[in-house]
Amino acid sequence: MLWKKGVGELKELIEKREVKPSEVVESFLKRFEDTEEKVKAYITPLYEKALEEAKKLDDKSPRGKLFGIPVAIKDNILIKGEKTTCASKILENFVAPYDATVIERLKRENALFVGKTNMDEFAMGSSTEYSAFFPTRNPWDRDRVPGGSSGGSAATVAVMSAPASLGSDTGGSIRQPASFCGVIGIKPTYGRVSRYGLVAFASSLDQIGVFARRTEDVALLLEVISGHDSRDSTSAEVPVPNYAEEMKKDIKGLRIGLPREFFEFNLQKEVKKAFDNFVKELEGLGCQLEEVSLPHVKYAIPAYYIIAPSEASSNLARYDGVKYGYRTPQYENLLDMYCKTRDEGFGSEVKRRIMLGTFALSAGYYDAFYLKAQKVRKLIYDDFAKAFEKVDLIAGPTTPTLPFKLGERLENPIEMYLSDVLTVPVNLAGLPGISVPIGWSDGLPVGGQLIGKPWDEATLLRVSYAWESIFKHFEKVPQI
């Protein structure tokens, strides 16, 4: 069964001419047909188009790092000629007029796109229940959420209807669903991957990253999509390492910091137990454990929920019914059209964040809220910088809890926001972070988060690669 194989294994089979790209896509299409109704990971499946493209590659010599490899794409990343809805009614029928930079780079390596995945509307949420269309379910327990906002991208890799996918991470939207779905998810350093063609939520925080079940697959895709892009002013001119080679280096002697503040949050005992075992095993592999302090991380959630909604308020002002997207069918004048379009087009969580952000930026409140939050952000960055003077990377649980049940937190936004209490500080500091599966509790996955120095994704991949050789989480298949 080809759908059980990772990107690296499929790549090798295709290069040896043992299988054709069309056979690979057909296998994942069959898996999609067997699982999709139960999981609901895709807004727009593209398997038939991918199969047509694959057949064109069948008789060609393999060219490109991802020749004939299926990849799923979060529905806030533009693919020219395909719908990009951001899981919102306001963009329900919007067709992308150009490719995002990451899509151009995947196309250059002959990757095939099998679908646009479900998400929380405009990437605002932690459960993929805020999609305007339908919630996605966790493949390990369909009564539970897959995490968010990139829940569809995580679920499709977990259920194996695609071997890899792209997501975006503004406050934990790759790492938290990776943890809940038992896969690997990496958020690169801010500026490592171009945001050109990513629909903006909070521009100083958003970053595109990768989901896969094997570290080598994450490394390969990250290498392909990384690098400077002149069309994105926040894209950095920093050389991209050969991650596939870097990840194989020994981890013996690496110093891993354990922030005492992470364990002052209300962690479920199952999460704490899995994490303790994880760091004990890393110590057995030759890593040195050292306690560090990040005194300002307790302010990360309040700071984030001023900065991110403020930027969202500005970014989402463009959806007014004038140029593109949904427009209310009945209105009396221009102002009435604006108001009704936005009221009918946006969901409750998006409206909540727009209102929060607009208030924080309003006259008389800017200094008290937005400016103060940015100062807290600098303090959090400084905490990490100080900790990294004595350690090579930092480790903690990815989320404080196991995957929660569908509907459990919809009535309590604060409880939903606290799902990201361990991931948000990483975005505020612009650092790379990866979630790796570290344990199981009653059949549910537990994730551990590794946080690196700026531009040092390679060290995170090294630890992930060493760990998976012991844990072998990728051997488990959800029973759908």
Tell me the average confidence (pLDDT) per consecutive run of 10 residues in the chain, 480 residues long. 96 96 98 98 98 97 96 98 98 98 98 98 98 98 98 98 98 98 98 98 98 98 98 97 97 98 95 97 97 97 97 97 95 97 97 96 91 97 98 98 96 91 98 98 97 98 97 94
Distances (CA, A) of 171 to 68, 305, 357, 414, 416: 32, 10, 16, 14, 12
- Quote the pLDDT of residue 276: 97
Cα torsion 157, 163, 167, 169: sign: positive
- Quote the pLDDT of residue 141: 98
Which one of the listed residues 149, 153, 161, 226 is annotated catalytic? 149
- Give residues with Cβ within 8 angstroms of 383, minimum separation 6: 293, 294, 295, 296, 297
Give yes or no: 161 in active site: no
Distances (CA, A) of 159 to 4, 40, 349, 398, 418: 10, 11, 28, 20, 26
Instruction: Return the exposure string of 260-280: e unless at least 16 CB atoms fall within 10 Å of the residue's CB, then b.
Output: ebbeeeebeebbeebbeebbe
Q: Looking at the whole model, is its pTM more than 0.85?
A: yes
Query: What is residue 211's three-state secondary structure?
Result: strand
Q: What is the C-alpha to C-alpha distance for residues 215 and 211, in angstroms, rounded to an integer? A: 9
The beta strand positions in 267-339, using DSSP E, are 288-292
- Quote the pLDDT of residue 364: 87
* Amino acid identity at 291: E
- Quote the pLDDT of residue 480: 85
Which one of the listed residues 74, 116, 187, 453 is annotated catalytic? 74
- Radius of gyration of the CA atoms of the chain, in A: 21
Neighbour tally for 416: CB within 10 Å: 22
Which one of the listed residues 27, 127, 153, 173 is annotated catalytic? 173
Q: What is the C-alpha to C-alpha distance for residues 154 and 330, in angstroms, rounded to an integer? A: 39
CATH of 2-256+390-475, one of 3.90.1300.10, 3.20.19.10, 3.30.470.10, 3.40.190.10: 3.90.1300.10
Instruction: Return the exposure string of 288-318: e unless at least 16 CB atoms fall within 10 Å of the residue's CB, then b.
Output: eeeebebebbebbbebbbbbbbbbbbbbbee
Q: How many residues does the chain have?
A: 480
Q: What is the C-alpha to C-alpha distance for residues 417 and 192, in angstroms, rounded to an integer? A: 26
Give yes or no: 74 in active site: yes
- Quote the pLDDT of residue 86: 98
- Quote the pLDDT of residue 363: 87
Sheet holding 42-45, edge to edge: 42-45, 112-117, 70-74, 164-169, 207-212, 184-187, 433-441, 444-452, 393-397, 255-259, 288-292
